[in-house]
Chains A and B, each alone.
Chain A
Amino acid sequence: MKVSEMREIGLKKLTSILILLLMAVVAPLVLPEAFVYLLGLALLFLILVISWDVIVGYTGQVNLGHTVFVGLGAYTAALLQVPSRFSGTIDFLASLPSPPPVVSILAGGIVAAIFGLIIGVITLRLKGYYFALVTAILPLVFMQTVFVFSSIFGGEEGFSIGLERSLAASTTLRYYYALVILIVSFIIIRFILNSEIGLRFKAVRDDEELAEAIGIDVVRYKVLSFVISSFFAGIGGAAIVHYRITVSPDLYDIPLMLLIILAAVIGGLGTLYGPLFGGLIIYLLKNWWLKGVVMTLPEWLPINDEVILYIILIAIAVLAPEGIWDKVKNILETASLRTSKSS
């Protein structure tokens, strides 16, 4: 490829990013408020998707418990904001002052990262399926904590942190905060993945033995990737709590995990930009459009929005196991090859 061609592609990428950014900034000014609220939640959901891509798409370790770190971040932030939930159980915590949102969001990330470090050190040093098996059951166990210690965590309904502790009082402003948190997270993740560390992640993913042979401490980089991934999952979870003012076990739950997987798989694992688009499409599809579609179905049909999403996911897994993004790219490439040949 010639330098001028590369520059052209770079320029194209830059303009498309700028256009997208502009659209994201203008969106709340033209869209109805209810949709802006949903869009902001979708932006925070994207943090969960791209952070999942770090460990799965870039490092090749199947993490099925990403929502545990989302939930840990969420409950950490919520409890920091409402420490009175500890009264009666851990009394000395109950009188702590509640910190500003920035602090509790960062704390959510840190708690998630520490837990990721512990689980990572135990499971990632083992080859094979142990990481997938252990992470798969983590959400089930953490769901249980919410019910067992319901005086603290609020059980099934969770609890509210109060409107005064949200990111901002107005929906529009909250949307912009969500956008900023996403952009900052994205830039940091992108920076890490493009650095030498990111190259090592990919080396571990592509050929573990080879990576080991050229002197990469495979376990260390897997754990590092997992910690980074967990940190941003925690940030995302905590930000969601400050955005929607409530915390509840749905942030731990497996349906959210499947939604993250679906978004990343549709966008293409290990592409970072792909999951961004996949995430936006899937989140809005589920929460805006699919619920309406399900309403129109006859009542006796045992189908809801989740059922449809699971069917889509199974279909993608079977029809395009290497990722739908690759498939589309291949089709486009062969098509453009054909046209360039014929011209």
Chain B
Amino acid sequence: MIDLAIRILIYGAVVSGIWALVASGFTLIFGVARILNFAHGTFFVLAAYLGIVMVSSGVNPYLATLLSIVLVGFFAVAIYALLLSRIREHEVMVIIATLALALLVEQVLLLIFGEHGISYPSLITGVLRLGGTPITLKRIAAFVIAIIVIVLLELFINRTRLGKMISAASQNFEGAMLVGLDVEKLFRVTMFISAVLAGIGGILYTQIFAATPIAAVKSLIFAFAIVILGGLGSVRGSIIAAFIVGYILTITINLFGARWSEFVALLFIIGILIVKPTGLFGVEE
């Protein structure tokens, strides 16, 4: 019993930390550029697959990890420059194009790698015993890294000039343009950060769990649950919401099995929409 409690406590923290990264990236680009990026999960999956390919072809694992995260960031900037910047005003087309992109990448990955789950090579090995419950060090490391990245993100948005500009653009787009901010550049930077967050999430996730190309689309369920609870566009909201959703999912998986997690996420979303549709920190539109 205590064993299960400890497991839920630790696993929940790890899962929550990873989802906080993914969801805050999704909500960041929505808040700043009003882009509902259905291809966000693609960055999550792509970073993991890129890293795995590089490591298996002999690149140093740490270098490969760093490279794949940065590459995914540039991939996102390219997607923005080539596709999204042209259709940003057509909200319907943004959704359709990004969803099509997510499925496109998913199909290509399926054709290359097949539908078997793959895991990222372990960057950290070792096991810690917590009152008899063995916990791998990479889980603890994943949690610590996720927290560090979240803190850095908060510092970046609130303390740096660029971060403040991004924050300004998300609060008032026209106002930001009026005072002379280059919003297009801000959007590209935000897209980069958003994808990097998803990419780090993807690599941390595949360190612990196996991932398949299908996660490109499937991960959206949990990301949506988090951003709806946290309030669309609120980074802080989605970080807090990630821990609530993360623990609910961990409890569900440990008590009932992983196959119920999608149902629980949907019921949870519908529950929020009935009770408090603006979420914890959302602003009424």
Contacts and interface: CB of A to CB of B under 8 A. Distances in A.
Contact of A137 (B96, B224, B274, B285): B224
Interface in B262-277: 262-263, 265-266, 269-270, 273-274, 277
Contacts of A141: 221, 262-263, 265-266
Given A129-B36, A313-B97, A136 B220 contact: yes
A255 B102 CA distance: 11
Nearest to B222: A137
A72 to B, nearest CB: 15
Given A64-B95, A265-B96, A254 B259 contact: no
A304 B109 CA distance: 12
A27 B41 CA distance: 44
B108 A307 contact: yes
Interface stretch (A18-26, A35-43, A177-185, A316-324): A316-324
A127 B283 CA distance: 12
Contacts of A304: 107, 111
A130 B270 CA distance: 10
B104 A137 contact: no
Contacts of A137: 220-221, 224, 265-266, 269
Contacts of B91: 62
A302 B269 contact: no
A126 B266 contact: no
Nearest to B267: A141
B156 interface: no
A174 B143 CA distance: 58
Interface string A91-130: 0000000000000000000000000000000110011111
Chain A interface size, as a band, is 35 or more
Contact of A306 (B36, B99, B103, B263): B103
The secondary structure that dominates the B interface is helix
Interface residues of B, number: 41
B87 A303 contact: no
A130 B228 contact: yes
Given A64-B95, A307-B108, A317-B100, A140 B262 contact: yes
Interface string B79-93: 000110011001111
Contacts of A144: 259, 262-263
A127 B285 contact: yes
B112 interface: yes
B96 A317 contact: yes
Contacts of A56: 92
A254 B101 CA distance: 13
Contacts of B204: none
A133 B95 CA distance: 10
Given A254-B217, A258-B103, A321 B273 contact: no
Among A56, A127, A140, the one with the most B-chain Cβ atoms within 10 Å of its Cβ is: A140
B107 A132 contact: no
B159 interface: no
B38 interface: yes
A312 B98 CA distance: 13
B260 interface: yes
Given A122-B273, A132-B36, A310-B101, A321 B90 contact: yes
Contacts of B112: 302
B93 to A, nearest CB: 4
A314 interface: yes
A123 B97 CA distance: 23
A62 B95 contact: yes
A209 to B, nearest CB: 13
A56 B91 CA distance: 12
B270 A134 contact: yes
Given A140-B218, A306-B103, A311-B104, A317 B269 contact: no
Interface of B: 36, 38, 82-83, 86-87, 90-93, 95-97, 99-101, 103-104, 107-108, 111-112, 217-218, 220-221, 224, 228, 232, 259-260, 262-263, 265-266, 269-270, 273-274, 277, 285
Given A302-B107, A307-B108, A318-B86, 17 more contacts: A123-B273, A128-B285, A130-B228, A140-B220, A140-B221, A141-B263, A141-B265, A147-B259, A255-B103, A261-B96, A306-B107, A314-B101, A317-B96, A318-B82, A318-B83, A318-B97, A321-B86
Interface of A: 56, 62, 64, 122-123, 126-130, 132-134, 136-138, 140-141, 144-145, 147-148, 254-255, 258, 261, 265, 302-304, 306-307, 310-311, 313-314, 317-318, 321-322
